[in-house]
Structure formats: structure tokens, C-alpha cells
Amino acid sequence: MRMWMVPPEMLCRQHLLGEHNELHMLVGSINRNISVAGYIDGGLAEIHNIVSRHDALVVEMTKRGYNHKSPLPTFASYTAGIIVVGMNIKELCRRCTRCKERIEHDQSKIVVV
């Protein structure tokens, strides 16, 4: 499970829908009291940003004409995790030529924190 946290418009279809699915899996794990510490410690998840990230992904999915019908279940949110967006951008470019093309096209929108 991974939250990329790059601007959603930079994600290819596979990574956009994949991250959306993984947010649902992350919430499911939290709701079943399954530890997500490895994802937090590995810089793969920010628990406190799950809802806002889901909302941002849904906006992009809707813009692309995808039919979103999976509201995020409620869960006990807490502050945990830090994702380094710059590293994720590099990793996406390494893994996926479609994301790389989208990222290179939209360089001006990247804000690395």
C-alpha cells in the first residue's frame, strides 16, 4: 500500500486507480486493527492525509470520466507518517513511462516539500 502524494493529474490511469484502491485497503487495515506501522515507517503512508488524498484522487478520476462509486469508509484518523514527494516522483518516473511522460509534461505543477 502506497500513497504517492504527487499531483493526481500526473498519475497514469494505472497509478491513479491503484493509489485509490490502496487507500481503501489502508483504511480497511486500520479498521481491522491490522498494523500499518511498516507503511508509515517506510514513508509510504500519511494517515492524517488519507481523506484529503482520496478526495483529490476522486476529483481527478471524475475529470477523466471515471465512475467513482466507492466512498471512503470512516476510520479513526491520527497524525502519522511523512512522504517525500520528490522521491516518489523519481520512483514513478523510474517505474512507469506513462507517469514519466505526464510528470515531464506538467513539471511546472510540482511543488516539492
In this predicted model, what pLDDT tens digit does every residue of 8-49 receive, in sequence order?
999 999 999 999 999 999 999 999 999 999 999 999 999 999
CA distances from 110 to 44, 65, 70, 106 (A): 19, 24, 28, 7
pLDDT by residue (tens digit) across 63-105? 999 999 999 999 999 999 999 999 999 999 999 999 999 999 8
CA 91 to chain centre: 13
Q: What is the pTM of this model?
A: 0.90
Residue 50 pLDDT greater than 70, yes or no? yes
